[in-house]
Amino acid sequence: MSKKVSVLFVCLGNICRSPTAHGVFRQLVKEAGLEEVIEIDSAGTAAFHVGKAPDTRSIQLAKQRGIEMADLRARQVDLGDFYQYDYVLAMDEANFFNLKELALPEHYDKIQLFLDYSSDYAEKEVPDPYYGGAQGFDHVFDLVESASQGLLQHIQKKHL
């Protein structure tokens, strides 16, 4: 295989949900020995937090669950992302529709809801935990972990 399979996780601020997905999926890819084959990044549809590290609540929770993500920095989605990435995975429907508005029709197929890859949860959206309590971050992590496993299985079956 010549070209890497590339995945971009997208939420609103790129400081809670999408960096959690980035960190969790990166670890799964590493454990599968596929770091040279799968490229991963995350971004936000909004620019509020560009350049910042993930929310400390996300970093702490991830650390408790064995995932390092403190090295990540927020950036905003740009048009080049739709050319560069094979999978542009939205955390919720608002982000999904915002991505569709930004993209050209030829790129619509790349834009999907991340939780479509979870076989454990019927929920369609990873809820925004930013203004809530610790429980919200736990739930985000559970959803992200499940969908990350499903996504890796899908990529292995389809591309590798």
The residues that are catalytic are 11, 17, 128
Q: Using CA atoms, how far apart are residues 112 and 27, in angstroms rounded to an integer?
A: 22
Q: Which residue has the tokens 């390092």?
A: 68
| Three-class DSSP category at 146 | helix
Distances (CA, A) of 150 to 5, 21, 64, 130: 15, 12, 22, 25
* Residue in 9, 14, 99, 147 binding ligand 4NP, rule: CB under 6 A: 14
Q: Closest residue (Cβ) to ligand 4NP? A: 13
DSSP 8-state secondary structure symbol assigned to residue 123: -
* Binders in 61-120 for ligand 4NP, by CB under 6 A: none
Closest CA to 144 of 9, 6, 13, 20: 20
- Residue number with CB closer to ligand 4NP (68 or 109): 68
- Amino acid identity at 68: E
**Which candidate, 135, 151, 158, places its Cα nearest to that of 29?**
151
Binder among 7, 8, 13, 141 for ligand 4NP (CB under 6 A): 13
Nearest-approach distance from CB 37 to ligand 4NP, in angstroms: 27
Question: Within 113-152, which residues bind ligand 4NP (CB under 6 A)?
Answer: 128, 130
* Part of the chain binding ligand 4NP (CB under 6 A), chosen from 5-13, 59-67, 97-105, 152-160: 5-13
Q: Residue from 15, 21, 38, 151 that binds ligand 4NP (CB under 6 A)?
A: 15
User: For binding to ligand 4NP (CB under 6 A), which residues are involved?
Assistant: 11-17, 48, 128, 130
